[in-house]
């Protein structure tokens, strides 16, 4: 039997997330409800993650039609599917080994799909070339990130490898870094300035890491998760200069790039800004940028597909990157098909375009409604402030807890925001994420919930949150 002392120490050192405890209780409550337990609610509403289909957002028809035809090719002979759906499915099946989605693909992905991803990237970036040889499809963007981190983390030497990570930032990424034996070096985003990334804070974090680790990479999320900010060109240029000066590998998590809602906000990829800055930056700064079919309006989380594009990588390193991705054989082929549709959706004039356009516009309208309601309701609650959500899929309100609530949480051995999330789960049936899991600034407390949900789920969420919060503040005032 495997003994505790024999477990990989890096795994043992992985940060325990409070959300796991809350999620475990949510599963128990769901089972209790199934068995007939009487509670003030009939189901647990899970808005803790960016899983839009779980939260009532319907899948895009064109995506499901193409997937159906690829899975069951007999549909290709029927007129019930639009002509462009059948044409797309036929092309994809023709690119699959053996003409079947049940076969393995090349390590980096189906070549035709990889080429269309490179065309998508080039078009997105105003014509800047994208080499298909530098693109790898993986079972989700985090999977690709894990492989690149594996490349960067060194097991030997007097100091462990460090990765600068945003606070608040992705809990999954932080855990992955620790699991590899590296050190997560948090830099704090400025909440009072709309979660702005300030280069002075990067310098502070790097200075603080001296003697603790050897920083090798800088991880950025844009649009932000969980903070919802969208970086300006000026901010991105400052970050690129910093990475160049400090010789840091730049990791750009851009999975929410289509989810930009701020009137003055615009998504620019790090690759585009890097190349538009010109030499020496565009020739020397090493960059890995990540995207996914799970996030954004497509929301196909269960299909598990993402990709990474690599820039300015030494050719001598390329073969090792291939080795890292080849150990996984290939990404799920159905997920690759979703990526293909993301890269090349129906265009004006195609039979499927009117419905596709309507569905996308409906999601945008839902998001506009949800963000308006979040701003109205959440910021009206006593002791709660929420920065505007410019992009991404989450709201990250700050909760100013009364001293009695903080004391009660300490008595129970919980952090205040964990106590709050556990209590709202028990009393209202809302599953939220506590801010303590996201490397929030010391002394502050937050909650995170998804805003890429149906209007019905959003209204239930806000009603439940409002009623609970007012009672919570009354109880602990």
Q: Which secondary-structure segment (H or E) carries 251? A: strand 249-253
11: pLDDT strictly greater than 70:
no
Q: How far is CA 64 from CA 120, 299, 330, in A?
A: 21, 12, 22
Measured between alpha carbons, how far is 343 from 121 in angstroms, rounded to an integer?
8
* Average confidence (pLDDT) over 138-151: 91
Measured between alpha carbons, how far is 301 from 298 in angstroms, rounded to an integer?
9
Of residues 376, 370, 359, 415, the one with CA closest to residue 394? 370
Which CATH number does the domain 94-343 belong to among 3.40.640.10, 3.60.15.10, 3.40.50.1100, 3.40.50.280? 3.40.640.10
Of residues 267, 116, 288, the one with CA closest to residue 217? 288
pLDDT band at 16 (very low <50, low <70, confident <90, very high): confident
The count of C-alpha atoms lying within 13 angstroms of the C-alpha of 401, restricted to the half-sphere facing its C-beta, is 21
Sheet holding 433-434, edge to edge: 394-395, 447-450, 433-434
Measured between alpha carbons, how far is 290 from 136 in angstroms, rounded to an integer?
10
pLDDT at position 325: 87
Enter the CATH code of domain 9-57+357-476: 3.90.1150.10
Quick one: DSSP state of residue 158? S
Domain ranges of the chain: 9-57+357-476, 94-343
- 162: which 2 tokens? 């460090």
Of residues 310, 227, 243, 240, the one with CA closest to residue 276? 240
Q: How far is CA 384 from CA 228, 376, 381, 387, 400, in A?
A: 17, 12, 6, 10, 6
Collapse the DSSP code of 196 into the 3-class scheme (helix H, G, I; strand E, B; otherwise coil) and give the result.
strand
Name residues whose C-beta falls within 8 Å of residue 167's C-beta, 6 or more positions apart in sequence: 186, 187, 188, 189, 438, 439, 440, 441
β pairing state of 394-395 and 384-385: unpaired
Measured between alpha carbons, how far is 330 from 321 in angstroms, rounded to an integer?
14
443: pLDDT strictly greater than 90:
yes
- 461: which 2 tokens? 């969420």
pLDDT band at 430 (very low <50, low <70, confident <90, very high): very high
Crossing angle between the packed helical segments 111-124 and 333-343, to the nearest 10 degrees:
30
Per-chain mean pLDDT for the chain:
93
Range list of H helices, 35-156:
61-71, 83-95, 111-124, 141-152
Of residues 180, 138, 135, the one with CA closest to residue 326? 138
9-57+357-476 and 94-343 share one fold:
no
Name residues whose C-beta falls within 8 Å of residue 406's C-beta, 6 or more positions apart in sequence: 416
pLDDT at position 413: 95
Asked if residue 405 lies in contact with residue 472, where contact means CB atoms within 8 angstroms, the answer is: yes
Sign of CA dihedral 412, 414, 420, 421: negative
The pLDDT > 70 percentage for the chain reads: 97
Of residues 261, 362, 427, 475, the one with CA closest to residue 57? 362
Collapse the DSSP code of 69 into the 3-class scheme (helix H, G, I; strand E, B; otherwise coil) and give the result.
helix
Measured between alpha carbons, how far is 370 from 462 in angstroms, rounded to an integer?
10
The pLDDT > 90 percentage for the chain reads: 82
Place of tokens 């807890």: 401
pLDDT at position 6: 61
Measured between alpha carbons, how far is 271 from 281 in angstroms, rounded to an integer?
11
Each residue's pLDDT tens digit, 353-388: 999 999 999 999 999 999 999 999 999 999 999 999
Q: Which secondary-structure segment (H or E) carries 213? A: strand 213-221
What is the number of H-type helices and E-type strands within the chain? Answer: 17, 14
* Average confidence (pLDDT) over 269-288: 97
Range list of H helices, 219-332:
233-246, 270-277, 281-284, 315-326
Measured between alpha carbons, how far is 418 from 363 in angstroms, rounded to an integer?
31
Measured between alpha carbons, how far is 471 from 367 in angstroms, rounded to an integer?
28
322: pLDDT strictly greater than 70:
yes
Of residues 220, 300, 225, the one with CA closest to residue 252? 220
* Average confidence (pLDDT) over 424-437: 96
Each residue's pLDDT tens digit, 116-136: 999 999 999 999 999 999 999
Q: 146: cis peptide before it, omega within 30°?
A: no
Task: Please state the length of the chain.
Answer: 477
Asked if residue 243 lies in contact with residue 285, where contact means CB atoms within 8 angstroms, the answer is: yes
The count of C-alpha atoms lying within 13 angstroms of the C-alpha of 273, restricted to the half-sphere facing its C-beta, is 21
Q: 168: cis peptide before it, omega within 30°?
A: yes
Measured between alpha carbons, how far is 287 from 444 in angstroms, rounded to an integer?
32
pLDDT at position 401: 97
């Amino acid at each position: 039997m495997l003994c505790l002392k024999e477990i990989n120490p890096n795994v043992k050192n992985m940060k325990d997330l409070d959300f796991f405890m809350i999620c475990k209780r949510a599963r128990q409550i769901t089972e209790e409800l199934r068995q007939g337990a009487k509670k003030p609610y009939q189901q647990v509403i899970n808005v803790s993650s960016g899983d839009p289909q779980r939260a009532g957002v319907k899948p895009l028809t064109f995506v499901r039609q193409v997937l159906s035809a690829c899975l069951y090719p007999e549909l290709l002979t029927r007129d019930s599917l639009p002509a462009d759906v059948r044409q797309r499915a036929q092309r994809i099946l023709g690119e699959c080994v053996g003409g079947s989605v049940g076969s393995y693909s090349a390590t980096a992905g189906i070549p035709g799909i990889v080429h269309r991803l490179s065309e998508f990237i080039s078009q997105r970036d105003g014509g800047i070339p994208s080499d298909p040889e530098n693109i790898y499809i993986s079972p989700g963007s985090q999977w690709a990130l894990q492989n690149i981190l594996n490349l960067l983390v060194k097991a030997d030497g007097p100091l462990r490898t460090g990765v600068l990570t945003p606070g608040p930032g992705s809990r999954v990424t932080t855990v992955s870094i620790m699991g590899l034996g590296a050190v997560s070096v948090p830099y704090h985003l400025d909440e009072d300035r709309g979660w702005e990334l300030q280069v002075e804070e990067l310098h502070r974090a790097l200075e603080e890491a001296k003697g603790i680790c050897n920083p090798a990479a800088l991880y950025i999320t844009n649009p932000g998760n969980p903070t919802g900010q969208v970086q300006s060109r000026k901010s991105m240029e400052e970050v690129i200069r910093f990475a160049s000066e400090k010789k840091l590998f730049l990791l750009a998590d851009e999975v929410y790039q289509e989810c930009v809602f701020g009137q003055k906000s615009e998504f620019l990829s790090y690759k585009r800004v890097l190349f538009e800055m010109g030499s020496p930056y565009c020739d020397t700064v090493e960059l890995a940028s990540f995207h996914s079919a799970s996030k954004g309006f497509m929301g196909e989380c269960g299909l598990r597909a993402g990709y990474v594009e690599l820039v300015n990588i030494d050719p001598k390193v390329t073969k090792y990157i291939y080795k890292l991705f080849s150990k996984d054989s290939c990404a799920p082929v159905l997920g690759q098909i979703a990526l293909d549709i993301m890269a090349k959706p129906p265009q004006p004039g195609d039979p499927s375009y009117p419905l596709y356009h309507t569905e996308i516009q409906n999601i945008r309208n839902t998001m506009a409604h949800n963000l308006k309601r979040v701003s109205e309701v959440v910021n009206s609650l006593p002791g709660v402030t929420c920065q505007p959500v410019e992009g991404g899929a989450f709201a990250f309100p700050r909760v100013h807890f009364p001293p009695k609530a903080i004391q009660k949480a300490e008595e129970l051995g919980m952090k205040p925001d964990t106590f709050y999330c556990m209590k709202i789960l028990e009393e209202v049936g809302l599953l939220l994420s506590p801010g303590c899991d996201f490397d929030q600034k010391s002394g502050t407390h937050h909650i995170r919930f998804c805003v890429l949900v149906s209007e019905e789920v959003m209204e239930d969420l806000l009603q439940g949150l409002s009623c609970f919060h007012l009672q919570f503040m009354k109880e602990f005032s």
